[in-house]
Structure 1
Amino acid sequence: MGRVRKKRKGAKYNYDKNRRKEWKKAKKLPNIGCTQIKEAWDPKKSVKKNLEEMGISADPNQTFKIPKTKDIFITEDSKTDQEEKTRKRQPKEHVIEDLEMEASIPQEKTLKLSSEEVKYCIYMLEKYGEDYKAMARDKRNHFQDTPKQIKKKIKTFMNIPEQYNAYIASKTSISC
């Protein structure tokens, strides 16, 4: 019996695609989330030029070049000349300063345990108190946590004031 030969189809024209709309979408500027960069952006310039003027690297591989062995043997005088040539004053240096100021502001840690982990910690504290070895042998220890792991979970639970204070408040309201 003979084999069926594969038929090759030519690419069909897609009538559903609006090519003018696709071209305009490709030309449109990307959405910039950073307000500092968005304010300093010049739509008439290319991405690389805009970033270069702001002092931001478009390609870090070109910015931080790995020196070749023959470059290492170049004298120190020629290096300083090259550094002076490459170190140009960017007209939009305020962008970098604003970004550095924003990055230096410390952020609050918003640590929260999931509701399942909170229930697990409350159950273990209610039943065993501070006996972590007994907690490790409990039937609800599905993840087979060691005593040290359980202790660490409970410590993190106690260090989250919102969740731990809610537990303490519910405990005192039940006992009253």
Structure 2
Amino acid sequence: MGKPRKVKKTFNYNKNRRKEWKKQKKLPKIGCKQMKDAWDERRTVEYNLQNMGLSADPNKTLAMPKPMDDVDVEAKPWKKLPQPKKLRVAHALEREANAPQPKRFRLSEPDVRYCIYMMEKYGEDYKAMAKDLKNYYQDTPKQIRSKIRTFMSIPEQYNEYKNSTKQTAMEIS
């Protein structure tokens, strides 16, 4: 067996160390509008979050007792925290999280192309679709039928397909 080679470390002159240090020191950008408005640049992250009624470390905020300790059931195991001054931030975040989100179900572009190809070539013959060479994933006729029905149930994508077929039919005639 050979001996491991010694690698000589060389100094990288192309790296600006001051710039790297400043990048590390800079705080990350805050994407949440409510937190951005209430943030105090002169304070620490922990202090800012505590003032907003949020927690930087939930393990410290909600310190749970160990299983071996005798715990009084009625006594609360978490620490008593000071009342936050900017509680509106926590309430705004909670309202935003509980707001109903619209469902945006869409098929992927390859699946849409696959469904359109099969429908144009075979129509409703799912057994022939299963034998087609473009059936790469070897879907069964029932799987193909469910994919096509899913495609038809999404009005955004299916209506776009129908409109394009009408335009091509008008151009041909």
Q: Which has the higher helix share?
A: 1
Q: Give yes or no for the alignment of 1:75 onto 2:72.
A: yes
How far did residue 106 of structure 1 move? 2.6
The C-alpha deviation readout for 1:111-160, integer Å capped at 9, x for no partner, is 33344322321222233333323321222212211223212211221122
Q: Give yes or no for the alignment of 1:110 onto 2:107.
A: no
For normalisation by structure 2, the TM-score amounts to 0.75
- Contact 1:111–1:160 at 8 Å: present in 2 too? yes
More relative contact order, 1 or 2 (CA 8 Å, 6+ apart): 1
CA distance in structure 2 between the aligned counterparts of 1:170 and 1:13, rounded to whole angstroms: 58
- Contact 2:105–2:154 at 8 Å: present in 1 too? yes
Describe the shift of the 1:70–1:136 C-alpha distance in structure 2 as closer, same or farther (beyond 3 A). same
The C-alpha deviation readout for 1:57-96, integer Å capped at 9, x for no partner, is 212333444542233x32235x24x55x525421111111
- The equivalent residue for 1:146 is 140
- The equivalent residue for 2:45 is 47
Describe the shift of the 1:106–1:4 C-alpha distance in structure 2 as closer, same or farther (beyond 3 A). closer
- Contact 1:157–1:164 at 8 Å: present in 2 too? yes
Secondary structure (helix, strand or coil) at the match of 2:68 reads helix
User: Structure 1 unaligned runs (5+)?
Assistant: none
Name the stretch that deviates more: 107-116 or 149-158. 107-116
Which amino acid is the alignment partner of residue 140 of structure 2?
T
CA distance in structure 2 between the aligned counterparts of 1:136 and 1:108, rounded to whole angstroms: 34
CA distance in structure 2 between the aligned counterparts of 1:57 and 1:138, rounded to whole angstroms: 57
**What percent identity do the matched residue pairs reach?**
50
For normalisation by structure 1, the TM-score amounts to 0.74
